Amino acid sequence: MENNHSEKVQLLIIGSGPAGYTAAIYAARANLKPVLYQGIQPGGQLTITTEVENYPGYADGVQGPEMMVDFEKQAKRMGADVRFGMATAADLSSVPFKITIDEEKIIEAEAVIISTGASARWLNLESEQRLNGYGVSACAVCDGFFFKGQEVVIVGGGDTACEEALYLSKICSTVHMLVRRDEMRASKIMQQRVDKTPNIIVYWNTEAVEVLGKQKVEGVKIKNRKSGEESVIPVKAFFVAIGHTPNSDIFKGQINMDEQGYIKTINGSAKTNIEGVFAAGDVQDKTYRQAVTAAGSGCMAALDAERYLSAKEA
């Protein structure tokens, strides 16, 4: 470790979705000279979505990647130092906090904002990846609207899958719900709601084999896991709701998290159990997971960090 080159910064922001960039905008305006590392997916999950219609201020909608370019430009214009690179290790045991970038460079920071996001879990089908953004989505709330009055498939058997199926049932003509086992993991009340919704059809012991379509989703080939029988459902969209994984591995054992790895923040703030370390966006929010809520929490994190840093100087 001795020969690694290190750099001292006042505020380090890790991750570059709406949370990280908003934190950078606020922190830069407060003259905290933030350094932001973009991580493995600059722009975060929004770079794998196409049309974003529910972010305020974009009256005609905007492409996800384009919106993240706007966020980045604004952060840079305010004076944030935006860099390409990924945090690969973290030592939060003492101040300055030491974050390793790309396994070689160490950043010593007086305060840290963790906005590393979460990654949707996928089924890892070739066709699912190929049609991602063209009818394949991991967010019904984001993309359901584009399939108004059409038939869609949703995969999953937990509370999120039920919630998203119910959401889709209000927009789409029929929701075909694929559940791997002969029962759901979801809570009883969520299952009852699904059962009571006439346009949700549940397929038990069923998995998706392939998403069909060249340029866009045209159907899904499914297989009954008991009988081995295969069939095709003609649909226009394929939603995957099998959960998300928060990108928090490098902080495990150092910071309070729930059993799924989401970083716990103190209610009504972006503060973690470590003074000077803040968390914003999907890495700490498994409930809403929207661009606008992530941006809001990025603002909270920057304001909390600013107060923390000025109290230290006083």
What's the whole-number mean pLDDT along residues 183-206?
96
What pLDDT is recorded for position 50? 74
Instruction: Encode pLDDT of 94-120 as tens digits.
Output: 999 999 999 999 999 999 999 999 998
**Nearby residues of 52 by Cβ (< 8 Å), 6 or more positions away:** 46, 58, 61, 62, 63, 64, 67, 142, 291
Tokens of 148: 């108004």
DSSP state of 186: S
Instruction: Encode pLDDT of 233-247 as tens digits.
Output: 999 999 999 999 999
Whether 249 and 293 map to the same domain: the answer is yes
| Average per-residue pLDDT for the chain | 95
Least confident of 16-20, 45-49, 94-98, 138-142: 45-49
What's the whole-number mean pLDDT along residues 111-131?
95
Active-site residue among 60, 81, 143, 172? 143
What's the whole-number mean pLDDT along residues 19-40?
97
Whether 12 and 150 map to the same domain: the answer is no
Q: What is the span of the domain harbouring residue 156?
A: 122-240
Whether 144 and 181 map to the same domain: the answer is yes
Instruction: Encode pLDDT of 10-25 as tens digits.
Output: 999 999 999 999 999 9
Interstrand relation of 97-101 and 105-114 (parallel, antiparallel or unpaired): antiparallel
Q: Which of 205, 221, 240 is the last residue of a domain?
A: 240
pTM for this predicted structure: 0.85
Whether 79 and 133 map to the same domain: the answer is no
Q: Which of 206, 240, 274 is the last residue of a domain?
A: 240
Instruction: Encode pLDDT of 57-96 as tens digits.
Output: 999 999 999 999 999 999 999 999 999 999 999 999 999 9
Whether 251 and 106 map to the same domain: the answer is yes
Domain tally, the chain: 2
Whether 185 and 236 map to the same domain: the answer is yes
Q: Can 299 be counted among the known catalytic residues?
A: no
Residue 1 lies in a domain: no
**Nearby residues of 228 by Cβ (< 8 Å), 6 or more positions away:** none
**CB count, 10 Å around CB of 19?**
35
Active-site residue among 70, 81, 102, 139? 139
What pLDDT is recorded for position 49? 75
Q: Can 142 be counted among the known catalytic residues?
A: yes
Q: Give the confidence band of 4 by pLDDT, cuts at 50, 70, 90.
A: low
Q: Can 143 be counted among the known catalytic residues?
A: yes
Exposed/middle/buried for 56, CB within 10 Å: 0-12, 13-18, 19+? exposed
Active-site residue among 70, 142, 195, 249? 142
Q: Which of 240, 265, 290 is the last residue of a domain?
A: 240
Whether 127 and 108 map to the same domain: the answer is no
Handedness of CA 216, 218, 224, 227 (dihedral sign): negative
CB 50 within 8 A of CB 142: no
First to last CA, the chain: 33
Whether 105 and 49 map to the same domain: the answer is yes
* Residue 157 belongs to domain with CATH number: 3.50.50.60
pLDDT of residue 40 exceeding 90, the answer is no
Name the residue among 78, 48, 80, 75 with its Cα closest to residue 64. Answer: 48
The pairs formed by 192-199 with CB atoms below 8 angstroms and a separation of 24 or more are 193/162, 193/166, 194/162, 194/165, 194/166, 197/165, 197/166, 197/169, 199/169, 199/172, 199/173, 199/174, 199/175
